[in-house]
Amino acid sequence: MGKAIVNLAVAGFFFLGSIWLWCIADGFPTSPRYSQVDTDFWPKLVFGLMALTTGGQVISSILGLRAQLKAWNAGLATNTGMPSAQSVFISLRVIAMAILIMAYYFGFQYLGFSIATLLFLWLASFTVSFKMAAVKILFAPLFTLILVFIFTRVLALPLPRGVGVFYDISLLLY
């Protein structure tokens, strides 16, 4: 049941989104020289078709949901739709990893590559179960140093140095 609701919600989101994007395309500036193949020509075609297919998806999701509701009312459905403790734990793990990746993205720019990578590798390694803590702790600085060496010394490619005091720390390395 929960899956059917999510399917309907996503299809609805895409349907409304494609109509909104079609309307935005309608408001694009026009150029008389290209009036028949103007800026809005292709986006309107794509999002118009997308509105059609996602509209079809909304209808099919509603029909599927109705059939499930009927089965539910008739007492045929067995799934309570309640998440188990394990699925809650996994969801929290995914959210934690997503937050860490976002934090790494910002840390990358403000703390510089080396510090942000070191912290990210340490923290992220604890989101997936692995008992050897010593390996986790040693791996992060080793991997960071290897990457810094390869990118800055071998390939001469730039890595972010961060700002302020972190910039000065990064200068010590590369």
Cβ atoms of 72 and 5 closer than 8 Å: no
CA dist list (Å): 79 to 68, 98, 144? 11, 29, 47
Binding another protein by CB under 8 A: which of 103, 109, 145, 167?
Answer: 109
Q: Which two tokens stand for residue 29?
A: 């500036």
- Residue 57 or 169 with smaller CB distance to another protein: 57
Q: Is 25:40 a contact under the CB 8 Å cutoff?
A: yes
38 contacts another protein (rule: CB under 8 A): yes
Which residues have C-beta within 8 Å of that of residue 18, sequence separation ≥ 6?
Answer: 47, 48, 50, 51, 54
Distance of closest approach, residue 62 Cβ to another protein, in angstroms:
13
Nearer to another protein, 10 or 169 (CB): 10
Footprint (CB under 8 A) of another protein, residues 115-174: 117, 120-121, 124-130, 132, 135-136, 139, 143-144, 147, 151, 155, 157-160
In the complex, the residues that contact another protein under the rule CB under 8 A are 6-7, 10-11, 14, 18, 21, 24-25, 28-29, 31, 34, 36-39, 41-43, 46-47, 49-50, 53-54, 56-57, 60, 86, 90-91, 93-94, 97-98, 101-102, 104-105, 108-109, 113, 117, 120-121, 124-130, 132, 135-136, 139, 143-144, 147, 151, 155, 157-160
